[in-house]
Each structure stands twice: as C-alpha cells, then as structure tokens.
Structure 1
Amino acid sequence: MLQLYSNIKTRRLELEMTQSELAEKMGYADKSMIAKIEKGTVDLPQSKIIAFAKALQTTPGKLMGLIENEPEIPVPTNIYPIELKRFPMLGKIACGKPKYANEDRESYIMAGTNIKADFCLRASGDSMINARILDGDIVFIRKQDMVENGEIAAVITNDNSEATLKRVFYYPEKSLLILKPENPAYEDFIFQNEELNEVHILGKAIAFQSDVR
C-alpha cells in the first residue's frame, strides 16, 4: 500500500497541484490530511482511492501501482472540470411552516465557484415547488438586508427564532410585507406596521442544488 501513497504525491506534483488544492477537491477541512496521506500514515478505503483517482485525473489501478500501461479513457470534449469551494450550511429552512434556523457551522456543501453565495440552507417542505425548489434541495443564499419585490429570500421571523423561504413583496408606503409561497395550497405570510419588527431578511436565494429524481 505504500506505493499508493507515493503515487498520490507523484501524480499531484505532475499536475502542479498543491496539497491544499487537493484537500479542497477531496473535501477535507483539515489541509494537513494530504500530507499525512502522502506519508502513508492514514489508511484509505477503496472509496477514497477511487475519489483520489478522480481528483488526480487517473485511475485507481495506476494509483495503486497495479496497472502500468492501462489505456487512457478519452475525455469527451463537451465535459469541463468544475472548480469547487465550500459553503457553510446553516441548517434547515422551511418551505411551508417556518422552522428554527439552527446555525450548524460544522457542516459544509461543496459547489461550483461560480455560485456567488455566502452560505446555504437545506429546504424542507413543498411550499416552493412552483419555483422548482423541492424538499431536501440545497438553496444558496447571498447575504443582503433587502431584496427586490418578487425575489426569493431566506427570512427570519418571530424574533429571529424561525426561518422561511418565500417570495418577498414589500410596500413601505403601506408598512406592509408579504411573504408568498410558490404553492397554492399555502397562504401568504403578512406583516404590517409594528409586525415588521419581527421580520429580518437573511439574504437573497440565488441558486439551488437538486438531486435527480
């Protein structure tokens, strides 16, 4: 198995990739993990070997030193690599009845660097299905205190103890805020006058990540 760890380092250097960059691709929060692996002090299960092979653009057989002349698999010209970064996961956000937005800063989601967001939340419920946001989807949020009318936002209500994901419509001349679901089975949330003090917009929903169903 020592050959495996040596080959990981050799292949990383061939690609001119730093240990930090490889750790990022592998989803390791601890950047020193790659150094430990290359020294052979960490045992890797088969699933991790496959993941390393993918990150290093090679095959598990070559990494393990089992196959010297394995034919290269041609890469389709319409497939492009995705650069990834970590987004902090702040907990669940309700699509239906508001729920407590617990800030679980130990969790992260890996997604493309083209997503200009500050954090993400996992949707629960079905009140945003007409916006194609389904139960379990990851919604990426860009921090901002206000959004344009009709935009979808993550909103804290009830003295910052509950959160919901809705389309926002604000009419300052009427001191009126309406949070509208994207499902006719649900009613609007309406806040007026002093009730506006109970509402705080966390940010604008700019993207979501959904599993193939």
Structure 2
Amino acid sequence: MHIGKRIKKLRKEKKMTQEDLAKILGVKPTAVSAWESGRNKPLMDKVGLMAQYFDVPISYFFEEDKLEEKTIPIKRFAKLPIVGTISCGNGVIAYEDIQGYEEVPGSWLNGGEYFLLEAKGDSMIGARIMDGDLLLIRRQNDVENGEIAAVLIDDEIVLKRVYKTDGTIILQSENPSYKPIVVRPEDMKNIRIIGKLKKVILNF
C-alpha cells in the first residue's frame, strides 16, 4: 500500500471528500487525487499536516508493506483547527491564522468539514455564547431561517442568527444592545455564510 492509499484510507475513515482534505491542506483537489492514485507524492510539510489532523504518527505514511494492512482504530477524538481568520479569494475559502488544534469527541462530527472559532464579545450572550467560548462550526454555505451561523463580512467573521426574507438577509445578535445587520441583495457580494454553529464548548 503506497502513501496515497494510506491517505485515502484515513480520509475515508473520516468520511471526507478529496475536496474537504484539499481545503484543509491548502491544495487543489487534483493534488489529493494525484497522491491517492500514486501519480504524485505530497511534500513533507503536507504529510506533517495530515499526520497532525488525522492524529497518526508521520511514520504511518512510510511503514513497511508488512504493516500496511493493520487497521487504524477509529479515533474517539478528532483534532480540529482553531481558526483565527478566514479569507475568501476567488470564491475559495481558506483558513488563515490557525491558532492551534483542539480535540473534540468524534461523536460530535457527522460527515462534512468542521472547524473551531473563538467567540469574541458579548453580542450573542442571549444564546449563552460568552467571550472566549469555543464554537464548533460545520462548514456550509447556507443555513435555515433562525439558525446561528458563522458569517464572513469582508474579512471579519461574525456569529449571528440568520433570517432570510424577500432576498434580504438579516443578521441578528442575541443582545438587545446590538442592532441587526440588514444585508440587501446589492450588498450580498460582501457577505458569505461559511458555516453553521453545531455546539458551544464552554470556556472554564
């Protein structure tokens, strides 16, 4: 089993697509495809990132053939990046300023891609989201009316409850001290929903 098959095995165990893994590593999906098919090999910095993300030793990718068929136990925990900023150049979302990684129970994750944000300020205290809490976000570009989402406004990430009506989006805080942000159709190019709040990890 070459290194590409090992990458594919880990990816499948996490129920990730090649595109999901590519976004985390900052490469194109075609690069992941080339690795998995054996047409190319990842650079060591990408191997290191994958080892950290999948929580396996780097040596796993280079073990001798006789060890290759050993099954890696399903991880009870997963390491997720704590994202400081997010950019959206050319419509492609990229994580920047990763402040570290946090282990979360695998039972919290149900397919798709997840990341963590740190809550800032008091605009969502009515939803029991306090400054410094970690927020588990499932990456997706839309949410249902009334759900809480991470929203990218220009280069700033905000957490708001989202309401949609007649082509207009209203971003509502959970603190009466903050006025709602009304986004009309002509302003949509500066606004992008990047994920849905799945869980608040309290900061003790």
What TM bracket, shorter-length normalisation?
0.5 to 0.7
TM-score normalised per structure 2? 0.56
1:109-128 equivalences under 5 Å are 109-116=102-109, 118-128=114-124
Q: Is the 8 A contact 2:85 2:156 kept in 1?
A: no
8 Å contact kept, 1:155–1:199 = yes
Shift of 1:201: 0.5
Separation in structure 2 between the aligned mates of residue 163 and residue 153 of structure 1, nearest angstrom: 10
Partner of 1:163: 157
Q: 1:192 aligns with which of 184, 188, 192?
A: 184
Give distance in 1, aligned partners of 2:178 and 2:95.
24
Matched AA of 1:162: E
Q: Residues 163 and 170 of structure 2 are in contact (CA less than 8 Å); yes or no, is this contact kept in structure 1?
A: yes
Of Structure 1 and Structure 2, which has the larger fraction of its residues in helix? 2
Q: Letter of the 1:123 partner, please give it.
A: A
Alignment correspondent of 2:173: 181
Considering only CA atoms, is the larger Rg found in Structure 1 or Structure 2?
1
Counterparts in 2 of 1:85 and 1:180: CA distance versus 1, 3 Å: same
Does the aligned pair in 1 maintain the 2:84–2:99 contact within 8 Å?
A: no
Sequence identity percentage:
38
**Structure 2: 5+ residue stretches without partners:** 1-52, 60-74, 87-93
Using the TM superposition, name which of 115-124 and 133-142 deviates more: 115-124
2:196 corresponds to 1:204 = yes
TM-score normalised by L of structure 1: 0.54
Q: Does 1:91 align with 2:84?
A: yes
Paired with 1:135 and 1:123, the residues of 2 have a C-alpha distance of 5
Residue type at the aligned position of 1:130: G
SS of residue matched to 2:108: coil
Output the amino acid matched with 1:31: P
Count of residues paired in the alignment: 127
- CA RMSD across the alignment: 2.7
CA distance in 1 between partners of 2:132 and 2:54 (Å): 23
CA contact (8 A) 2:54 2:79 kept: no
**1:107 equivalent in structure 2:** 100
